[in-house]
Structure 1
Amino acid sequence: MRKTNKIFHLAIPCKELDETVEFYEKLGCNLARRYDDRVTFDFFGDQVVCHLSPDHIDEKPTMYPRHYGITFLEKDNYNESLKKAIDEKLPFFTEPMVRFKGKQEEHMTFFLIDPSNNLLEFKYYHDPSMAY
């Protein structure tokens, strides 16, 4: 279970800083710091650092095994993020869907793709015990 006195940190590659900042700010993430070679965001309470590395971009990303994102514990937060993605015309990698329908681990999910082909998943489990 998450402890409130800890922040998860993730570092990912990006091919260009300005478009990266634009994407993550449209998503609702606050820019915390910017340097010549990276940008750091408050990503829903955690830290995502996008390092400028245009030679390390996945040209043909797939959902598995590499993606990251948010598991919302409240359905309204999931719906708000989905609405924001639609309103901001952010690029979807997969449209919203329900996975594992009828099972305890059933959840709502959608994937976005950032300007550097990093995949972001947003999901909400109907049964909160399945979040971990």
Structure 2
Amino acid sequence: MIVVNPHLKRRNLYAFSVWSSLLSLVGFALLFFCPKGGLLFPLLAVVCISVSYGVLKTLADAVLAVETHGEHRAGVYAASFLISSCVGIVFIKFTSLLYTNNPGWLLFVCALILSGVLVLSLKKQGVSDGIV
């Protein structure tokens, strides 16, 4: 994070979101396709997912700061953290039920959520670049 965060600027927030989402998807793919008994693939996957999570968490805070204005900013921060906590609880319950049937579902659901983040980031990046 010491290397990545200083490069975050208002103009490249969504590009960093795209790249970190892709990096996380690569990490989940490495976990999904890792051979039994192999250590390299899981280690690379954990590094990819960890770095991506750190960047995405920082980006979420930065995007909230950039996209919100005025005196209601603190309320938006509080509401976003409350909503993300509530949604997180529901998703933890949902994925734990899926995990009992097949552990692979956990990776699939995480990859699906990250794909949604990737699509939204690409769409927002296109809007900010004047493409869409």
Question: Which TM-score band (shorter chain)?
Answer: under 0.3
Select the structure that is richer in strand: 1
> Taking CA–CA contacts closer than 8 Å with sequence separation of 6 or more, which of the two structures ends up with the larger relative contact order?
2
Select the structure that is richer in helix: 2
Q: What TM-score comes out, normalization by structure 2 length?
A: 0.28
Higher CA-based Rg: 2
Q: What TM-score comes out, normalization by structure 1 length?
A: 0.28
